[in-house]
Amino acid sequence: MQGIILLKNKICVIGLGYVGLPLAHAFSEKYEVVGYDINTSRVDELNNGIDRTLELSEEKINKALLNGISFSAKLEDVKNCNIYIVTVPTPIDEQNEPDLTPIIKSTEAIASVLSKNDIVIYESTVYPGVTEEICVPILEKISELKFNETFFCGYSPERINPGDKEHTVTKILKITSGSTPEIAKKVDELYKSIITAGTHLAPSIKVAEAAKVIENTQRDVNIALINELAMIFDVMDIDTNAVIDAAATKWNFIKLTPGLVGGHCIGVDPYYLTHKAQTLGYVPNLILGARQINNGMGKYVAERTIKLMIQKGINIKDSKVLILGITFKENCPDIRNSRVIDIIEELKDYGCDIDISDYWADETDVMNQYGFKLHNDVDINCYEAIVVAVAHDKYKTLKFNNEKQVVFDIKSVLKNSDGRL
């Protein structure tokens, strides 16, 4: 009987990016779904079966369209929904403070079409308290409905890993929560109906919000430790990866590798937690210290590359340097918060002439976001230095002239390189 009741729901997923689109697709297997996004170009592309994030194939999108999913940039197309799921980004500003503009704007839009007994579920990463202390008052004011009387909320943090075709949305265990015990159960049952990996019902929305934000904070701190160890072992002239391999023979050692920490999660989420902690008078020194270490890795890579060039007698001024990779991770087109930019800017300050190549990235997106053109048709032998910044599969088989050029391999994917983390 419960399944029949659930199937009567009409779901609106707000935000059709790396998180929202796969989620909308998964729900469309069992429910009537409207995917809403303010980006009309994105909506048009999806209606034509095109997903520039490469999370869904054209075949999957077209099949979902035939089965009844719809994509729209018009609010009037979602006002008949009774469950709204917010999956918009939650970035940081230039001062590393949370920028809640996307989630606030989305909340305002939902509030304008909210009806009695509707449920609003947030998946965007936030600090504990955002749903009930910031979003709920907006929903109440605009809709003129009463929280936990005539409308309800839930929080179920996203755990999407962009580019990962194995750990897809339905195969990742989902945290759920609701604003009342009854709504928490309904939210949990809703997700449980599509998440084959199962769900974990948290005791409150704040607990679910906190659980999400510490997931990536933990990874950030752990990677910062490995990055600092890499810098220490470099001074000692010890191979960091050999040390990690040896240490990893112990059963409880967490094996991570040094590298750049970018993307929309690990390099951003800790700032949400530190912001909230500091507003309450607590200074999170460990978390902020980890952020400082990881934010400095681009500068460190650039300096290492320059030193290696000097050792080979290469003139730094006007030297041609090729950066291989601009996305924030391997085999994925996502360029958000890519820390490869730090390497590029630092090498430019040394007077190097930089070309950037990345066969995964969208050239228009790179130009719009970072302001430079990609050079994907290049002769790697024409450069004095090459930085393999992202471990895309094709880069692992490239052959370099290590006698005449410097090759710095950030992710240690090459058999021969002059330097690596």
Catalytic center residues: 265
Helices 240-247 and 205-235 pack at an angle, to 10 degrees, of 120
Contact 268, 92 (CB under 8 A): yes
| Rg, Å, the chain Cα set | 23
Amino acid letter for position 288? L
Alpha helices in 20-115 (DSSP H): 20-28, 40-47, 58-66, 101-111
Beta strands in 150-217, from DSSP E residues, in sequence order: 151-155, 174-176, 199-201
* Burial (CB count within 10 angstroms: exposed 0-12, middle 13-18, buried 19+), residue 117: exposed
DSSP designation for 257? -
Contacts of 402 (CB under 8 A, 6+ apart): 416, 417, 418
Distance CA 48, CA 65 (A): 9
> Which helix (DSSP H) or strand (DSSP E) does residue 30 occupy?
none
What token pair was written down for 25?
């697709």
Amino acid letter for position 4? I
Distance CA 101, CA 263 (A): 19
DSSP designation for 15? -
Residue 160 has φ and ψ, to the nearest 5°, of -65, 140
* Burial (CB count within 10 angstroms: exposed 0-12, middle 13-18, buried 19+), residue 46: buried
Q: How many CB atoms lie within 10 A of CB 8?
A: 9
Contact 138, 47 (CB under 8 A): no
Contact 87, 121 (CB under 8 A): no
What token pair was written down for 113?
């079409």
How far the first Cα of the chain sits from its last, in Å, is 57
Q: How far is CA 330 from the centre of its chain?
A: 13
What is the sign of the dihedral through the CA atoms of 290, 291, 292 and 293? positive
